[in-house]
Structure 1
Amino acid sequence: MVELVNPMVTDAVTQSNVKVVGEAPAMALGTLYQSMAHSTGVLFENAVSAQQQQNILAQAAVNQGVMQIYSLDTTAVAGASEKVAQTGTSDNLSSMLAVLQAFSNPQR
């Protein structure tokens, strides 16, 4: 038994199906753009978070360096720098230069 359907009903169903199929590419692109925008937002959030963590690490490193500088005994530092200054490296170098010049010019 074959039932006949009103042509107006089949036309309405066909038109709604065509409408859905016609809108599918636009909906897919809209979803794609929305997903890309969300991913880009997460990317920037992660970049800001990484920068904040780097700033915290830099501040901690500077803090440690300042604490080490302030923890040094000033008399010990002065004594060490005095020892370095009294090694006479420049005097030794000038003496060696004079000896080398004496050997290179035997007519003196």
Structure 2
Amino acid sequence: MRVEKCYFCSKPCYPGHGIAFVRNDAKMFRFCSSKCHKNFKMKRNPRKVKWTKAFRKAAGKEMNIDATYEFEKRRNVPVRYDRELMQTTVKAMQRVAEIRKRREHAFWKNR
């Protein structure tokens, strides 16, 4: 099970929630709510709708270029379970979240 991102607003879309829209060319769009789905069908640009993540990044209200975002890569090949690897991964995730929080706080203070 994978937590997908909403195509319109970039919020997390959990399994069993939201709407999946498949275009004729087999491109799949996932939406977290009917609000996002309706805005997509009305051909609204997410960068011009003020409550989306795309708007916040385009307007300079959120960080958009940072090394901590590189850790959020989507991996299609599952990794074989290793207890030590999982423990170090969880510790690293907490550390990265802490670093990202500090950087975002500094970014918000300086803007």
TM-score, length-normalised on structure 2?
A: 0.26
| Structure of greater relative contact order (alpha carbons < 8 Å, 6+ residues apart) | 2
Which of the pair is proportionally richer in helix? 1
State which structure, 1 or 2, has the greater radius of gyration over its C-alpha atoms. Answer: 1
Which of the pair is proportionally richer in strand? 2
